[in-house]
Amino acid sequence: MEFHFLFQGDDSTEATAKPKRSFYAARDLYKYRHQYPQNFKDIRYQNDLSNLRFYKNKIPFKPDGVYIEEVLNKWKGDYEKLEHNHTYIQWLFPLREQGLNFYAKELTTYEIEEFKKTKEAIRRFLLAYKMMLEFFGIKLTDKIGNVARAVNWQERFQHLNESQHNYLRITRILKSLGELGYESFKSPLVKFILHEALVENTIPNIKQSALEYFVYTIRDRRERRKLLRFAQKHYTPSENFIWGPPRKEQLEGSKAQKMSSPLASSHNSQTSMHKKAKDSKNSSSAVHLNSKTAEEKKVAPKEPVEQTDRTSPEPSNEAAKPRNTEDSNPESVNSQPEKAVTNPTEKKESASPENNEEGENHNQDSESPGNTNCREVVLVQ
């Protein structure tokens, strides 16, 4: 399920509002790229294969009751029908997730493999892709997925710039391409859209969805980074570019700060422990001297003090025992901070941004849904 966030308000607000990363977009696209690892029931429709049977022209799509051949032959070029009908897109571009048309069933891994082996299904799938590209004002130029402006691009780009619900459709199309064996077709289309939005300024309203959703449908990390670098180069204003990867100097500064923080705190802790141990030692010595004096008064015979000190070794032995005990305690305590110095540093280093799975600036991604803009509107497909 896809959530696209759009800003509302007057023109001045839109011009000054800094875009935010969407937690929902990040989660949705992460699950897609990693093969829907959570809560995915692959057995649910394994014996149905309704998506494949639709593409084999054996069943119509519901609820309209129209077969794929009729869609490809009679709906092509009928932009009003393609614009206002909202039930066909889930059948033309199936996914392993439920859309708004609950008659359309999710793909399964078994159905995907069967689909890829069925030539007539693949042929019709590519015709459906071409039909939708033309609807957007784009044409497929070769067999490896490259695209260019179609003859009707000016009219269709103007429409695409204004009808933002079509951005949801593009996200679905890109996802479906990856599911059904055409992952390599995604990058050329996303690069083309970014170029038109950021360089040519023909569809400027699409840039947020392109960077929030379209780029992150691409499973190859290197391809995503290429597209993000291209976007960063042409994005205006440049300081509002919030998509990764983060700059190297920022990473190094952050890492150095994280490493110095636990070292400083552990040093303070160590100093405190030494001071505490020293105070404890002095306190125990004072207690021992007081007990020694009391013991002397209690048991010493009426003889000169010098003789008592000289002939009786007992108090000095008693003094040695508690002093040794007190000396051993600070040493054992001080060994603990030494251990604590190492562990936090190691933990901080292992959690550095360089170990991020994406390598991109996910700090902007919002750790919780509460960081999303309260003035944003959620569109769901």
pLDDT at 354 over 70: no
Instruction: State how far the Cα of 168 lies from the Cα of 166, in Å rounded to an integer.
Output: 5
Over range 322-349, report the average pLDDT: 37
Residue 100 has a pLDDT of 85
What are the tokens at 228? 């993000």
Percent of the chain beyond pLDDT 90?
51
Q: How confident is the model at residue 246 (pLDDT cuts 50, 70, 90)?
A: low
Tell the residue number behind the tokens 């890109």, with chain if given.
174
What are the tokens at 263? 């070292």
What are the tokens at 24? 């929902």
Helix, coil or strand: residue 144 = coil
Asked whether 74 and 88 are in contact (CB, 8 A), the reply is no
Residue 200 has a pLDDT of 98
pLDDT at 313 over 50: no
Residue 338 has a pLDDT of 36
Lowest mean pLDDT among 11-20, 68-77, 93-102, 315-324: 315-324
Highest mean pLDDT among 6-20, 151-165, 361-375: 151-165
**What does the DSSP assignment read for 168-214?**
HHHHHHHHHHHHTT-GGGHHHHHHHHHIIIIIS-SSGGGHHHIIIII
Question: pLDDT averaged over the chain?
Answer: 73
Residue of higher predicted confidence among 192 and 14: 192
Residue of higher predicted confidence among 368 and 275: 275
Residue 48 has a pLDDT of 84
Q: How confident is the model at residue 372 (pLDDT cuts 50, 70, 90)?
A: very low
pLDDT at 191 over 90: yes
Domain ranges in the chain are 29-234
**pLDDT, tens only, 44-86:** 545 689 999 999 999 999 999 999 999 999 999 999 999 999 9
Tell me the whole-structure pTM to 2 decimals: 0.64
- Those residues with Cβ within 8 angstroms of residue 62's Cβ, 6 or more apart along the chain or in another chain: 87, 101, 103, 104
What are the tokens at 102? 């609950």
User: What's the count of helices (H) and strands (E) in the chain, helices before strands?
Assistant: 16, 4
Residue of higher predicted confidence among 326 and 118: 118
Instruction: State how far the Cα of 354 lies from the Cα of 349, in Å rounded to an integer.
Output: 9
Instruction: State how far the Cα of 288 lies from the Cα of 295, in Å rounded to an integer.
Output: 10
**pLDDT, tens only, 91-122:** 999 999 888 888 999 998 899 999 999 999 99
Instruction: State how far the Cα of 276 lies from the Cα of 269, in Å rounded to an integer.
Output: 10
**CA torsion, points 244, 249, 254, 257, in degrees to nearest 10?**
180
